[in-house]
A and B are shown apart, each in its own frame.
Chain A
């Protein structure tokens, strides 16, 4: 490299940030995660609103159908509910999540 270029390069090197800067990286990732969270909340809100609107529109049809069905299925649903309760109480409880305090 010619001396003039080496001199330029040495002067430019004074602008170099550190090779590793955890503070900068943390700030960037904090903003990335915040944006990701906001996008997820926005998506879930839209889905919840769409679901609520669909239910509101379909309720005149769904309501009577559910009443009819629930009469027929009530005993079966009751039995399933009791079975699940018994399974949980008698030791079939799901394992604690990793890192959870027990």
Chain B
């Protein structure tokens, strides 16, 4: 409750043009936004770029944020839309993409088999399902909060989470059986 009211007062100050208040909002929510985007797009460097873009857009639209709305859900919603835009865009910078892949492979080397199995399973999930899993199973969002963030009906969020969870657990079991 105290944290929510702190968010509300920071949002109110940012809406009056305070860059300092907005900077504190960035500090408070960068972890949630970046973690969500890492899980939603599977590419850490791209996720961090998208997170920066998310906060830039949030600064421009902070005036539209309604009083009492969840700031982290709002930010994750902006981030998710940016992620979808990038995914749908045909004109991707190939060189940049190759760099991302190289960085991703380096990161992957250090990860455990389980983590790799989870990443692979996440990559097979449809975008909406993946985003629901990333918010509800990994980031402790309530179904209602995820529904608000992603603009998806509550019932659909629940079914996405249930199905996504099943598929991830199945992938982990298969990975263990293979070992």
Contact = CB atoms under 8 A, between A and B. Distances in A.
Give chain B's interface residue range (CB within 8 Å of chain A): 20 to 34
B168 A14 contact: no
A36 B19 contact: yes
Contacts of A21: 30-31
Give chain A's interface residue range (CB within 8 Å of chain B): 20 to 34
A36 B23 CA distance: 14
Interface string B147-179: 000000000000000000100110010000000
Identify whether the interface residues of B are mostly helix, strand, loop, or mixed: helix
Contact of B27 (A9, A14, A20): A20
A13 B168 CA distance: 15
Given A14-B111, A28-B56, A31-B52, A7 B31 contact: no
Interface of B: 19, 22-23, 26-27, 30-31, 34-35, 38-39, 44, 48, 51-52, 55-56, 59-60, 111, 114-115, 118, 134, 137-138, 165, 168-169, 172
Interface of A: 4-5, 7-9, 11-21, 24-25, 27-29, 31-33, 35-36
